[in-house]
């Protein structure tokens, strides 16, 4: 190996058939994360989530590409047997950005969080990414701050989400997004959504009402040399949004359980999400699936708008 090898940031990306063909044809592509499939959602809802997000992207004129680390290869367009393995969760670890080099060296499998998916987008030159909710500042311990935030600060990508998960400290998360220089846009809302809930009482600094408007902000960010993401938040679909008090009670119970069990680190987010699902009688799961689909649809519109002349 020459000493310069790998220092250029030109990580080899392995493209799936569908995503590779879309890239070659210059078609719009929407990146999707795999941690929500392999850790965030239970089986078999994870399969439904993949199907619905893929359908929403295709229906809106773009091509979906699930990102993952597959046997050490940074992959854009997880498909076939590999996708099956991730949906069944056979030995698939949750990987944040910092874990990518270790998995690459060991040829391991890893499901990418928002942070790791952003790293994939940068390596592959993808402009748009849809997810459910970003990670953020945890309520306890407050020093547990998701790497999603720092990575958003240095990835020039449009990320469509439903805010940050209700299990987090949302005011602190908003402040940290500002610290990291992340451009934040409310899509058809003036409020920062609470993932399961439409409102949080927290205001977003700017609002946009069209996909073309989002595309214009990414172009402007790049023209200004801004290094970070354009984070687009939209409320969960109204039919599935949960009542804030119901969610708050469920989160309190989930936090108490995690505290008793002494859960820390990467395991915390999946455990809290599962506990909230139990405490809302599965309604949080229905909301999660619906918002993932809605976010994928909007992301596809943005990917299409980015290819149109400004
Ligand atoms: N949103 C969901 N379900 C999830 C996640 C987000 O609806 O499973 C995942 C994302 O992959 C996100 C990660 O990047 O949780 C954040 O984990 P942590 O708090 O450990 O950084
Ligand atoms: Mn964490």
CB of 173 sitting under 6 A from ligand 1? no
Work out how many domains the chain is built from and give that number: 1
Burial class (CB within 10 angstroms; exposed 0-12, middle 13-18, buried 19+) of 231: buried
| Each residue's pLDDT tens digit, 3-53 | 444 455 566 899 999 999 999 999 999 999 999 999 999 999 999 999 999
Q: Residue 33's domain is classified under what CATH number?
A: 3.40.1790.10
Domain that holds residue 168: 5-307
- What are the tens digits of pLDDT across the range 175-207? 999 999 999 999 999 999 999 999 999 999 999
**Which pairing describes strands 110-112 and 63-70: parallel, antiparallel, or unpaired?**
antiparallel
The predicted model scores a pTM of: 0.95
Longest dimension (CA), the chain: 58
Q: State if residue 136 touches ligand 1 by the CB under 6 angstroms criterion.
A: no
State the burial class of residue 141 (Cβ atoms within 10 Å of its Cβ: 0-12, 13-18, 19+). exposed
Number of residues that make up the chain: 310
3-class state of residue 275 by DSSP: helix
Phi-psi region of 199 (alpha: psi -120 to 50; beta: other; left: phi over 0): beta
How far is Cα 164 from Cα 265, in angstroms, rounded to an integer? 17
Which residue's CA is the nearest one to ligand 1's atom 7?
132
Atom 8 of ligand 1: nearest residue by CA position: 40
Mutate to test the pocket of ligand 1, among 132, 138, 195, 280 (most ligand atoms within 8 A of CB): 132
Whole-number pLDDT of residue 220 = 98
The pLDDT score that the predictor gives to residue 9 is 54
Return phi, psi of residue 90, to 5°: -70, 100
DSSP class of 237: P
Q: Looking at residue 36, what is its pLDDT?
A: 96
Query: What average pLDDT does this structure show over 206-231?
Result: 98
Q: Is the pLDDT of residue 128 over 70?
A: yes
């Amino acid at each position: 190996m020459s000493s310069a090898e790998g220092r250029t940031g030109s990580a080899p990306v392995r493209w799936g058939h569908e995503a590779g063909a879309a890239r070659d044809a210059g078609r719009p592509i929407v990146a999707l994360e795999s941690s929500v499939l392999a850790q965030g959602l239970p089986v078999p809802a994870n399969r439904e989530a993949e199907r619905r997000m893929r359908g929403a992207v295709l229906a809106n004129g773009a091509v979906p590409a699930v990102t993952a680390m597959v046997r050490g290869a940074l992959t854009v367009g997880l498909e076939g047997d590999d996708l099956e393995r991730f949906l069944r969760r056979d030995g698939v670890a949750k990987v944040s950005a910092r874990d990518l080099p270790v998995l690459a060296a060991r040829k391991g499998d890893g499901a990418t969080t928002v942070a790791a998916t952003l790293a994939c987008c940068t390596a592959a030159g993808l402009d748009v990414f849809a997810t459910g909710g970003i990670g953020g500042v945890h309520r306890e311990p407050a020093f547990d701050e998701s790497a999603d935030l720092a990575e958003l600060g240095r990835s020039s990508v449009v990320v469509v989400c439903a805010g940050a998960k209700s299990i987090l400290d949302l005011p602190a998360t908003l402040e940290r997004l500002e610290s990291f220089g992340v451009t934040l846009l409310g899509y058809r809302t003036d409020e920062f959504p609470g993932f399961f809930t439409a409102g949080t009482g927290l205001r977003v600094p700017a609002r946009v009402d069209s996909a073309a408007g989002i595309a214009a902000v990414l172009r402007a960010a790049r023209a200004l040399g801004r290094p970070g993401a354009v984070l687009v938040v939209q409320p969960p679909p109204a039919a599935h949004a949960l009542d804030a008090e119901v969610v708050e009670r469920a989160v309190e119970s989930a936090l108490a359980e995690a505290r008793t069990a002494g859960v820390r680190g990467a395991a915390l987010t999946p455990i809290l999400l599962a506990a909230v699902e139990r405490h809302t009688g599965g309604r949080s799961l229905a909301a999660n699936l619906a918002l993932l689909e809605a976010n994928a649809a909007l992301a596809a519109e943005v990917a299409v708008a980015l290819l149109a002349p400004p």
